Amino acid sequence: MVKRLVDVLVLNSNETITIDSPDPERGLGIVDHGGVAINQGRIVLAASTELLERKFRARRIIDAGDEIILPGFVDPHTHLVFAGARDAEFQLRIAGVSYLEVLRKGGGIIETVNLTRQASPESLFQSGMQRLDTCLESGSTSVEIKSGYGLTEDSELRILRIVQRLKRYHPCNIVPTFMGAHAVPPGEILSEYVPSVINDMLPHVAREGLAKFCDVFCERGAFDSIESERILRKAAKLGLKLKIHADQFTDNGGAQVANRLHAISADHLVHSTTEQLEKMAETKVVPVLLPSSSQSLLAGENADARGMLAMGLPVALGTDFSPSNWMLGQLTVAALASRELRMNASEIIRGITINAAKAIGLEKRIGSLHPGKQADLVTLRAPNHRWIGYTYGERIVDNVLIEGEWVVRDGRRIL
């Protein structure tokens, strides 16, 4: 038999976790001693090493001996472009001051907004590139990025243009989200700020095609459910897809808004009612859980992941990287999801691949090793898939490929 020439063969893994299974809701589609054939940036076949060697020859062979292969991780929730840090505020939180209390005193988001407005576009771009490299070295190949530290028309657009520039220059798949309704800016009142989001910012964002999603921080002290719904309805009218920060600190009607508007995702959901969560099974809203964010708040409160899984919801996991929750690794999220949310390895793996891809509307393109999908994958130094969520703080990422391009080798960014 003549062997077909492909660009890349990744071979000899302990397990190749394809997430391409006859059981689309739960299965991991694990191939023992498997690998992946890649051509022109696409998955050709994920199968046993023996079969791949029989069918293909390759321009480049990557050995994944003693490793496992997975689809590249998807981080569906970050606030990655901002200036400064809030390490001092974290010390206050350790001493017992609550997040909302910090916000009321003009700290928190507002402090970051002031620093971000003053920062040069170049410095925001450079820190964004570095943070995305950290994502890559942690195995994430797709990253959603929200604006929301500008809170004026000019500064929000400036952040989204930086996100567009990151999209052009960084190999990660980047999904931009407009989040002008992250907080009411200093010196303004809600009743004046919301119309400026609806009438000025959103049309401009849509006109320039600067974002795929619109997100709103629906919370006491931020935007209530009525204002959140007004903003999201306008966004939908302008062709943006919808996300919402829902019920993080209180049950504030966020999940209800997500259900009513058929948002793509509702994120946090720490205080959502069972009734609204059950409804998400019908409205197809993807729950995005952010256990590191809960942990950084030091409140000891987590979303009911087990309840959501029992309802059959496709639970996705994200980092919620921001200055109040400084972490970018989906494997760290995995370790928290097992310990804090009691998710098992299979649930976690789906949460950081296919379900996270659903949360950013890209499940047809990424999130599994199905033939024809974009060849984004990661190899981990681990004996089997149960090590995801089990190991903690080790550098187990070895190789990362995006669209068949080798971007991380031996855990370090190349190119």
Per CB under 5 A, residues contacting Zn ion are 320
* Cross-strand pairs, 42: 39, 374
The residue (of 289 and 388) whose beta carbon lies closer to Zn ion is: 289
In the complex, least distance from residue 353 CB atom to Zn ion, rounded to whole angstroms:
20
The residue (of 320 and 398) whose beta carbon lies closer to Zn ion is: 320
In the complex, least distance from residue 248 CB atom to Zn ion, rounded to whole angstroms:
8
The residue (of 320 and 347) whose beta carbon lies closer to Zn ion is: 320
The residue (of 241 and 385) whose beta carbon lies closer to Zn ion is: 241
* Cross-strand pairs, 78: 321
Long-range contacts of 408-412 (CB under 8 A, 24+ apart): 408/136, 408/137, 411/137, 412/137
The residue (of 56 and 178) whose beta carbon lies closer to Zn ion is: 178
Q: What is the DSSP letter of 184?
A: P
In the complex, least distance from residue 318 CB atom to Zn ion, rounded to whole angstroms:
8
Helices and strands counted in the chain (H then E): 16, 19
The residue (of 320 and 340) whose beta carbon lies closer to Zn ion is: 320
Close Cβ partners of 178 (under 8 Å, ≥ 6 residues apart): 146, 147, 156, 160, 201, 202, 205, 210, 211, 213, 214, 215, 235, 240
In the complex, least distance from residue 390 CB atom to Zn ion, rounded to whole angstroms:
27
Q: In 3-state terms, what secondary structure has residue 392?
A: coil
The residue (of 76 and 389) whose beta carbon lies closer to Zn ion is: 76
Alpha helices in 78-152 (DSSP H): 87-94, 99-104, 109-118, 121-137
In the complex, least distance from residue 216 CB atom to Zn ion, rounded to whole angstroms:
11
In the complex, least distance from residue 112 CB atom to Zn ion, rounded to whole angstroms:
12
The CA distance from 61 to 79, in Å, is 36
In the complex, least distance from residue 243 CB atom to Zn ion, rounded to whole angstroms:
9
Which residue of this chain has its Cβ atom nearest to Zn ion in the complex?
320
In the complex, least distance from residue 146 CB atom to Zn ion, rounded to whole angstroms:
7
The CA distance from 210 to 196, in Å, is 17
**Burial 113-126, CB ≥16 within 10 A → b, else e:** bbbbbebeeeebbe
Q: Is 360 in contact with 141 (CB distance < 8 Å)?
A: no
The residue (of 51 and 100) whose beta carbon lies closer to Zn ion is: 100
> Which residue type does 380 have?
L
